[in-house]
Amino acid sequence: YADRFAGQLVLVTGAGSGIGRATAVAFAESGARVVAVDRDAEGAARTADVARLIGAPEAWAETVDVSDEQAMEKLAEKVAAEYGVVDVLVNNAGIGLSGSFFDTTAEDWRKVLDVNLWGVIHGCRFFGRQMAERGQGGHIVNTASAAAYQPSRALPAYSTSKAAVLMLSECLRAELAGRDIGVSAICPGFVNTNITSTARFTGVDSEEEKRLQKRTARLYGLRGYPPEKVAEAILRAVVRNQAVVPVTPEARGTLLMSR
Ligand code: NAD
């Protein structure tokens, strides 16, 4: 998509690593001005540096925790005042959490819902409203997961947070359809990033743990599915205005079975 996003302002959360970094860089390659948001200041700054090197006319790093409502509201005000209204918003920041239902503490439930669900809600409320009020269209991408529609004993809290993101995206898509603002939910399967390399399927019986590890190794070998391919799917989703986008072969297969 060379120059496809020239002149557009793209904001990506969780841009300090993995899928978010690859996405910010891919938009930069396509000519966009990029805001890389992460709670990890160093990661966000590196992504902005790479984005500039690769061709973004401008790129900025912002250090924000997406689960912090006030910080997100302030960020939206700052971005609008200093860089402009965002044309493409990618709510991608997320954390993993494994453990069986009864092994998951209330604190862990809150933590994962605060980041994975509330982070997306804050992004859509503050940046989506600006987009709608400007009246010149735009696009919102939310990174859900194949876990959103594929039940697992290993990831009940994570999967619940992602199922909520998927439904939120579909509801908002219906609401914004008449205003030329598309909403896409990206649903990757297992992708090779920090989230998965540090994941441990704790608290589930070892049978399921072994099954998950075997399946992953069988599908992708040791290298795993690259985040750059998820980034490609995200740009395609914006260009084609796709609603629900399963990425990776097993994510496509399980979506067909679940709907
Ligand atoms: P990652 O850990 O490499 O990247 C996540 C980034 O989000 C990190 O830079 C982290 O600092 C940032 N982040 C986490 N919490 C934050 C917060 N509260 N505020 C701001 N930034 C925060 O992992 P990834 O795989 O690139 O994950 C990106 C998204 O993709 C997540 O939403 C994840 O759930 C989703 N996803 C990943 C996979 C996979 O297999 N890797 C599969 C499906 C969905």
ipTM of the complex: 0.99
Rounded to an integer, the average pLDDT of 210-219 is 68
User: C-alpha angle with apex 245: 54 to 232, nearest 5 degrees?
Assistant: 15
Average pLDDT, the chain: 93
Q: How big is the CA angle at 192 (ends 187 and 40), to the nearest 5 degrees?
A: 90
Cα separation of 114 and 59, whole Å?
27
Q: Is the pLDDT of residue 213 over 70?
A: no
Nearest C-alpha to atom 44 of ligand 1 is from which residue?
145
Report the residue count for the chain: 259
What is the side-by-side strand order in the sheet with 244-247?
59-63, 33-38, 9-13, 88-91, 138-143, 181-188, 244-247
Indicate the angle between helix axes 18-29 and 41-54, nearest 10 degrees: 30
Q: Which atom of ligand 1 is nearest to the CA of 191?
A: 40
Q: How far is CA 137 from CA 2, 156, 182, 205, 210, in A?
A: 21, 36, 8, 48, 46
Pocket of ligand 1 (CB under 6 A): 13-14, 16-20, 38-40, 43, 65-67, 92-95, 115, 119, 143, 145, 188, 190-191, 193-196, 227
d(CA 227, CA 16): 13
C-beta separation of 44 from 213 below 8 A: no
Q: Which atom of ligand 1 is nearest to the CA of 68?
A: 18
Instruction: Give dist(CA 210, CA 7) in Å, integer.
Output: 48
Residue 232 dihedral angles phi and psi, to the nearest 5°: -55, -45
Q: Is 51 a residue whose pLDDT tops 90? A: yes
Determine the residue of 13, 19, 37 to mutate for testing ligand 1's pocket, defined as the one with the most ligand atoms within 8 A of the Cβ atom.
Answer: 19
Q: What is the pTM of this model?
A: 0.94
Give the amino acid at 106.
Answer: A
All structural domains of the chain with their residue ranges: 9-258
* Catalytic entry in 149, 158, 220, 225: 158
Position 250, amino acid? E
Distance from Cα 178 to the centre of ligand 1, integer Å: 31
Beta strands in 152-217 (DSSP E): 181-188
Q: Does 9-258 carry CATH code 3.40.50.150?
A: no
CA 166–ligand 1 middle distance (angstroms): 16
Query: How far apart are the C-alpha atoms of 101 and 124, rounded to whole Å?
Result: 29
Res 216 pLDDT > 70: no
- The pLDDT of residue 72: 98
Is 1 catalytic? The answer is no
* Helices and strands: H and E segment counts in the chain: 11, 7
Best probe residue, ligand 1, of 40, 67, 162, 195 (max atoms within 8 Å of C-beta): 195
Give the pLDDT mean for 231-258: 93
Residue nearest to atom 34 of ligand 1 (CA): 94
Which pLDDT band holds residue 33 (cuts at 50, 70, 90)? very high
18 Cα–ligand 1 center, Å: 7
- Please choose, from the candidates 192, 195, 190, 184, the residue with its C-alpha nearest in 3D space to the C-alpha of residue 233: 184
Q: What is the pLDDT of residues 108-147, one digit of tens each?
A: 999 999 999 999 999 999 999 999 999 999 999 999 999 9
Reduced to 3 states (helix: H, G, I; strand: E, B; else coil), residue 126 is helix
Query: What's the token pair of residue 205?
Result: 């019986």
Closest residue by Cα to atom 3, ligand 1, is 18
